[in-house]
């Protein structure tokens, strides 16, 4: 167990009912919930893995696969949906040869469809890491992805 994970577990030890907070801290550390970290959590807190997975799978915020270096988030809010979000998603998936929720085999890209990125006047939009790309069409999104 690495020192950062141990520090998280120590910080919350003895505080029953903090499973969600501990899982959030672990995900903030690794960007997802690695199986090894969940096993350490189970052993350290004497909580069954099934209970931990029960909590983690209930909430959509938790991820079980490592995201890519470039996290491609496609907005599917109302404005984006009306302006072609489905086509944008399809183009991103075709260009990267993976589906939403997956990571490329080289670990470079992952795709996530989101309910809203809050950029409605710029629809349709994609966010790559923290950078927003707006007013996209299929050609523009392919050009953006090639830049990475």
Mean pLDDT of the chain: 95
* Residue 1: per-residue pLDDT: 81
pLDDT in tens, 81-115: 999 999 999 999 999 999 999 999 999 999 999 99
**For the chain, what are the domain ranges?**
3-58, 70-142
Q: By CB neighbour count within 10 A (0-12 exposed, 13-18 middle, 19+ buried), where does 74 fall?
A: buried
Share of the chain above pLDDT 70, in %: 99
pLDDT band at 16 (very low <50, low <70, confident <90, very high): low
pLDDT band at 119 (very low <50, low <70, confident <90, very high): very high
* Residue 110: per-residue pLDDT: 97
Could you list the beta-strand ranges (E) of 28-142: 70-75, 109-114, 126-128, 131-133
DSSP code per residue over 16-31? TT-HHHHHHHHHHHHS
Question: Are the C-beta atoms of 144 and 92 separated by less than 8 Å?
Answer: no
Q: What is the CATH number of domain 70-142?
A: 3.40.30.10
* Residue 130: per-residue pLDDT: 93
Determine the average pLDDT of the residues in 9-16.
83
């Amino acid at each position: 167990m690495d020192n950062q994970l141990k520090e998280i577990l120590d910080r919350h030890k003895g505080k029953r009912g903090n499973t969600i907070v501990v899982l959030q801290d672990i995900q903030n550390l690794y960007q997802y919930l690695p199986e090894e970290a969940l096993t350490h959590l189970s052993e350290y807190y004497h909580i069954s893995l099934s209970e931990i997975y029960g909590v983690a799978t209930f909430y959509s915020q938790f991820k079980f696969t490592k995201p890519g270096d470039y996290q491609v988030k496609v907005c599917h809010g109302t404005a984006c949906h009306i302006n072609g979000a489905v086509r944008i998603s399809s183009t991103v998936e075709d260009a990267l040869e993976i589906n939403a929720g997956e990571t490329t085999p080289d670990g470079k890209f992952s795709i996530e469809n989101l309910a809203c990125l809050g950029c409605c006047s710029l629809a349709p939009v994609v966010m790559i890491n923290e950078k927003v790309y707006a007013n996209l069409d299929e050609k523009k999104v392919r050009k953006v992805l090639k830049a990475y």
